[in-house]
Structure 1
Amino acid sequence: MTADITAFDLAEAGAVLAAESARFASFGWMRGTSGNLSVVLTRDPLRLAVTASGHDKGELTPADMVLVDGEGVAVGAGRPSAEAELHARVAASTGAGAVVHVHTVASVAMGYRQPGGIVFRDLEMLKGIGQPAHDVAVTLPVIPNSQDMKVLGDRLEAARDPRMPAVVVAGHGLYAWGADPRQARHHTEVVEWLLELELTRR
């Protein structure tokens, strides 16, 4: 731990992330060991609790979290998700307090079908991401995948629409974020609903 973050702080954040992870896993959005979640613990310096690598996301415990720095590097024990660096980048660039990454069929399918971005308008569910239900078009960006988190982070920042708290990584899945884990969950669920609707309409 660091001087500002105690083992209790990490365990408390871990309990929240474990519960959120179990919820997403129950939807089939985090099959096997796929997907990852994070929550910001401090801003200066940036420190996040991130789900550990290689764990079944439906069976996480508060102990299955790793403290990482602003580069996604572990601070202390444990091996974080390989995408911890991207979580840190999203938190730094958007001001988000929590980030969710899920592997859903709808996000991957729609990323293939509309690689230039997925446009939503005239839908009541847009209110769930803070946008008007009518007369405004909001684009969910789709970015090419990369195993290099710096490259992926650059792509995300370049494509990001401030009105849309999410992005699809082609062939991979959905990233969504919010001010805290609850809002990040709501944004994830709303954007996934929008993706599922588009998928069924086509």
Structure 2
Amino acid sequence: MDVPLDIGLEEAGAVLAAEAARFASFGWMRGTSGNLSVVVSRNPVRLAVTASGLDKGELTAADVVLTDAAGAAVGAGRPSAEAALHARVVRLTGAGAVVHVHTVAAVAMGGRRPGGIEFEGLEMLKGLGYRTHDVAVVLPVIGNSQDMAELGDRLEAALRPGMPAVVVAGHGLYVWGDDPRQARHRTEVVEWLLELALTG
């Protein structure tokens, strides 16, 4: 491989396999749904993305595909169909890792609040980087599309400062962070908020 990696592809695959197993155990990546990515190089931009069509609870370190800054495969393998959106999030936000899960709460709340989901006065907001619970924030909701360029445009238009997540109506949740651990923590926090909103 002639691509200079900041971390090895196998190492990235092992990390993503462990993260996927965790999310699958929560029921957030049922069947073969959902996908994860981590940036393995910044110059040039390269992402390790979970391979398409695999059970996310059974991934191995080899079940990732290297992609370029547009989400196209570099070398062998077929990445998730949504790799292009992962790459777009990385370009827009500088994220080091992106999580996409299909949770019941995200789909349900995206349908109930198509204009965005507001949260206010909750201690858990600190888990998204807010300094105090005494804030009101909006989690954006965007319409779904099978066209990743169109979906990426919608995501870009909906981005809000300080909010590292977006709900795709009828589909699921995208969350990002500096690295896989932060992306995981933020995903768990956003899902908690969505579950709370669902009970209201």
TM-score w.r.t. length of structure 2: 0.97
Residue 134 (structure 1) shift = 3.3
Shift of 1:64: 0.3
Is 13-22 or 153-162 further displaced after alignment?
153-162
1:95 partner letter? G
Aligned counterpart, 2:190:
191
Give the Å deviation of 1:45.
Answer: 1.4
**Letter of the structure 1 residue corresponding to residue 92 of structure 2:** S
Report the CA distance shift for 1:69/1:116 in structure 2 as closer, same or farther (over 3 A).
same
1:81 equivalent in structure 2? 80
Tell me what 1:99 maps to: 98
Counterpart secondary structure, 1:42? strand
Q: Is 1:130 aligned to residue 129 of structure 2?
A: yes
1:166 corresponds to 2:169: no
Deviations 1:46-92 (A, max 9, x none): 10000000000000000000000011100000000000000000011
Contact 1:125-1:133 at 8 Å conserved across structures: no
1:36, distance to aligned residue in structure 2 (A): 0.1
Q: Counterpart of 2:89 in structure 1: which amino acid? A: V
CA distance in structure 1 between the aligned counterparts of 2:133 and 2:32, rounded to whole angstroms: 38
Per-residue Cα deviation, 1:172-192 (whole angstroms, up to 9, x for no partner) = 000000000000000000000
Alignment root-mean-square deviation, CA = 1.2
Q: Which residue does 1:59 correspond to in 2?
A: 58
| 2: CA distance, partners of 1:197 / 1:73 | 37
Where do 5+ consecutive residues of structure 2 fail to align?
A: none
Work out the CA distance in 2 between the residues paired with 1:187 and 1:179.
11
Deviation at 1:163, TM superposition (A): 1.2
Give me the whole-angstrom Cα distance separating, in 1, the residues matched to 2:94 and 2:147.
Answer: 22
Letter in 1 for 2:197: E
- 2:126 touches 2:133 (CA, 8 Å); kept in 1? no
- In 2, Cα distance between equivalents of 1:156 and 1:95: 15
Counterparts in 2 of 1:171-186, with a 5 A limit?
Answer: 171-186=170-185
How far apart are the structure 2 equivalents of 1:2 and 1:127?
41
Residue 153 of structure 2 is matched in structure 1 by: 154
SS in 1 for 2:149: helix
For 1:2-81, what aligned pairs fall within 5 Å after superposition? Answer: 2-5=2-5, 9-81=8-80
Following superposition, the deviation at residue 42 of structure 1 comes to 1.0
Cα deviation, 1:116-172, whole Å, max 9, x if unaligned, reads: 000001000000001144331110000000001111111101001121100000000
Paired residues for 1:100-119 under 5 Å: 100-119=99-118
1:5 positional shift: 3.0
Give the residue type in structure 2 aligned to 1:58: G
CA contact (8 A) 1:121 1:133 kept: no
Give 1:140's aligned residue: 139
Contact 2:124 2:133 in 1 (8 A): no
Inter-partner Cα distance in structure 2 for 1:155 and 1:45: 26
User: In structure 2, what is the Cα distance between the partners aligned to 1:82 and 1:154?
Assistant: 16
> Once structures 1 and 2 are overlaid, which stretch shifts more, 59-68 or 127-136?
127-136
